[in-house]
């Protein structure tokens, strides 16, 4: 039996984005105390007397004193390896998502590898907006009836309960739970085959030679690491094609430069370079 692994649960923090109601925060603290979670972060909470949260959070002074208050979600997620954004709404394609049990299983495995995990919950009224969900590595939806919107503290209670329960599962059973993919398959999606991955690796190796990368890196080590990375990534077919296309373009670029031709450059309309690392106040209050 895997005993209650206090250290494992220590790797988790619960993040509440703009909670408005002290009773809800108190009930979250109570739920966390019951389930053995210690770290609570509030992002830009409404003005509230945190002592009032004691109404529903008996014997939780330790947690109360430990609360971290942040101005932005980015600040709350500093030092976190993987964050799970809890949403009452199911998203469609292009959002990596897991059901709660799978998310908990994955997160416990990551915690076992000493990674820091955040479970992020949204506002009572409007949940998390899309920009905030994009900051999370993965979306989590808790199964409900057609009425999907749980009370904030109830959602935290269910997630924390699942964490505690799975952390106490017999170790053999737990090791049988595979590390779940962060996946939301569109119909027709498939995983790139081993052959495709090797083809991509070969093209990548060629292009790294073309651009002189190996003058500063050991080829064998670098290629082996990239191979491990590609295997771990379990690339989708379309991601494989995207990477093959990029590698081909880098190769063309190198050839043009070699011939003294200045290649054409087109910037995306919205570049990652333009992203403000701090939350855009315009997004605050936008519905998910
Ligand atoms: N009215 C909002 C829900 C807010 S509930 C909406 O419809 O989007 C407050 C928070 O509790 C949510 O942001 C989410 O983090 C969590 N939550 C509520 N129901 C959930 C569910 N079924 N699955 C996952 N998280 C849920």
Structure tokens belonging to residue 58: 């008996």
Q: Which residues of the chain have pLDDT under 70?
A: 1-6, 92-94, 170-189, 272, 275-288
Q: CA 63, CA 59: separation in Å to the nearest integer? A: 9
Paired residues of 65 in beta bridges = none
Structure tokens belonging to residue 1: 């039996």
SS3 174: helix
**Does 124 contact ligand 1 (Cβ within 6 A)?**
yes
- How many Å lie between the centroid of ligand 1 and the Cα of residue 85? 10
pLDDT score of 230: 83
pLDDT score of 202: 93
List of domains in the chain: 2-181 (3.40.1280.10), 194-277 (no CATH)
pLDDT score of 197: 85
| Distance, first Cα to last Cα, the chain | 40
Q: CA 171, CA 186: separation in Å to the nearest integer? A: 33
244 HSE (CA, 13 A, CB side): 14
Q: CA 140, CA 135: separation in Å to the nearest integer? A: 13
Q: CA 174, CA 132: separation in Å to the nearest integer? A: 31
pLDDT score of 53: 77
- How many Å lie between the centroid of ligand 1 and the Cα of residue 287? 11
- Cβ–Cβ < 8 Å for 9, 38: yes
Choosing from 41, 90, 150 the residue with most ligand 1 atoms within 8 A of its CB, the one to mutate for a pocket test is: 150
| DSSP letter assigned to residue 45 | P
Q: CA 200, CA 260: separation in Å to the nearest integer? A: 27
| DSSP letter assigned to residue 193 | P
Choosing from 27, 76, 149 the residue with most ligand 1 atoms within 8 A of its CB, the one to mutate for a pocket test is: 149
Choosing from 18, 103, 122 the residue with most ligand 1 atoms within 8 A of its CB, the one to mutate for a pocket test is: 122
pLDDT score of 7: 83
- How many Å lie between the centroid of ligand 1 and the Cα of residue 119? 12
**Does 128 contact ligand 1 (Cβ within 6 A)?**
yes
- Residue among 72, 42, 19, 15 at smallest CA distance from 276: 72
- Cβ–Cβ < 8 Å for 54, 27: no
- Its sign, for the CA torsion 189, 190, 195, 197, is positive
pLDDT score of 216: 82
**Does 87 contact ligand 1 (Cβ within 6 A)?**
yes
Opening angle at CA 246, ends 243 and 251, nearest 5: 125
- How many Å lie between the centroid of ligand 1 and the Cα of residue 225? 39
* Angle between helix 100-112 and 152-167 (nearest 10): 50
- How many Å lie between the centroid of ligand 1 and the Cα of residue 177? 27
């Amino acid at each position: 039996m895997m005993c209650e692994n206090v250290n494992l649960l220590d790797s988790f923090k619960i993040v509440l984005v703009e909670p408005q109601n002290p009773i809800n925060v108190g009930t979250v603290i109570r739920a966390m105390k019951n389930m053995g979670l210690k770290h609570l972060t509030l992002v830009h909470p409404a003005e509230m007397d945190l002592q009032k949260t004691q109404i529903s959070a008996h014997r939780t002074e330790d947690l109360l004193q430990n609360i971290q208050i942040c101005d932005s979600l980015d600040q709350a997620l500093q030092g976190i390896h993987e964050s799970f954004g809890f949403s009452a709404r199911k998203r469609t394609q292009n959002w990596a998502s897991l059901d709660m049990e799978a998310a908990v299983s994955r997160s416990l495995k990551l915690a076992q590898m000493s990674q820091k995990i955040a479970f992020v919950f949204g506002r009572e009224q409007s949940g998390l907006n899309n920009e905030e969900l994009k900051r999370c590595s993965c979306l989590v939806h808790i199964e409900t009836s057609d009425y999907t919107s749980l009370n904030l503290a109830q959602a935290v209670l269910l997630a924390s309960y699942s964490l505690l329960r799975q952390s106490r599962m017999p170790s053999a059973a737990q090791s049988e739970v595979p590390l779940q993919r962060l996946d939301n398959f569109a119909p027709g999606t498939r995983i790139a085959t081993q052959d495709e991955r090797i083809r991509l690796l070969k093209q990548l190796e060629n292009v790294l030679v073309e651009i002189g990368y190996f003058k500063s890196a050991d080829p064998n080590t670098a290629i082996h690491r990239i191979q491990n990375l590609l295997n771990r990534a379990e690339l989708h077919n379309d991601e494989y094609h995207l990477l093959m296309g990029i590698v081909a373009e880098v190769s063309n670029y190198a050839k043009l430069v070699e011939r003294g031709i200045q290649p054409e450059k087109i910037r995306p309309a919205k570049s990652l370079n333009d992203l403000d690392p701090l939350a855009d106040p315009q997004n605050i209050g936008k519905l998910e």
